[in-house]
Amino acid sequence: MFTARVIEVLRRIPRGKIVTYGRVAALAGNPCAARQVVRVLHVYSKKEGLPWHRVLNREGAVSLERGHGYEEQRALLEREGIVFGVDDRVDLENCLWMPARSDLSEIEAEVL
DNA sequence: CTCGTGACTCCCG
DNA sequence: TCGGGAGCCACGA
């Protein structure tokens, strides 16, 4: 199940690192299901205690609107040491999480 | 089976 | 460079 894989991927994002919606989707098996990731966050982030704040858009910026979660997400990330530039974006080169092969197999094992 | 739903992305003017 | 429009898609109702 795609959703289960997404959850497993999110669970493994380490502190101080972030991933993009599209990346999570790809890791979960479907590169074109970025929007599904959003749904998963809506439905399971709270219930499963997922690190929802570590998911940013392709630009490396927070997608939530100001006054609707933006401040909270940004604060949570900064608390983990992630730095936002003057353009309100993070440096993907340094912050993007690159899962190891072992992480991927763990996910597979978890979902089976 | 069809339809609505997005914290997305890509593409084009 | 920016904004709008059109894909894209799993999942629940």
Go through the domains of chain A in sequence order and give each one's CATH number: 2-111 (1.10.10.10)
Tokens describing residue A35 = 């929007």
Per-residue pLDDT of chain A (112 residues; tens, 9 = 90+): 899 999 999 999 999 999 999 999 999 999 999 999 999 999 999 999 999 999 999 999 999 998 899 999 999 999 999 999 999 999 999 999 999 999 999 998 987 7
Give the closest nucleotide to A1 (alpha carbon vs C1'): C10
DSSP class of residue A98 equals -
A84 contact to strand C (CB, 7 A limit): no
Give the closest nucleotide to A33 (alpha carbon vs C1'): C9
Give the closest nucleotide to A69 (alpha carbon vs C1'): B7
Model's pTM, two decimal places?
0.92
Phi-psi region of A37 (alpha: psi -120 to 50; beta: other; left: phi over 0): alpha
C-alpha distances out from residue A99 to A65, A74, A105, Å: 28, 22, 10
List bases in chain B with any atom under 7 Å of a protein Cβ: 5-10
